[in-house]
Amino acid sequence: MKNPWVVEVSQGSGTDSEDYTIKDIGRCGMFIQTERTFDVGEKIIMRFQMPISRKIFKIVGEIVRYEATGIGVKFLRQLSRK
């Protein structure tokens, strides 16, 4: 992915969310740039729009990697797509 885009991430109940930059995305997950601390194994809800198709995805993911520059997230299941 050459042009990063924004992903809205919420934790727990999903009421509070923050925007982060997607640095890499694939079929099974993504890497999100953030300085915020997340726990490996933590579940999050992500909402993002694909640049080419303009479709909006809402996906549950699990943090599988934490680094100083961001987090690696594995996609678990899709909640909706518009």
Q: How far apart are CA 66 and CA 15, in angstroms?
A: 23
Q: What local confidence, expressed as pLDDT, does residue 67 receive?
A: 94
Q: What local confidence, expressed as pLDDT, does residue 49 receive?
A: 85
Q: What local confidence, expressed as pLDDT, does residue 52 receive?
A: 76
Closest to 33 measured CA to CA, from 45, 19, 47: 19
Q: What local confidence, expressed as pLDDT, does residue 1 receive?
A: 34
Pair 19, 10: CB distance under 8 Å: no
Strand (E) positions, 1-82? 5-11, 17-25, 29-33, 43-49, 56-67, 70-81
In the predicted model, residues of the chain with pLDDT beneath 70 are 1-4, 12-15, 81-82
Closest to 32 measured CA to CA, from 15, 78, 42: 42
Enter the pTM of the model.
0.83
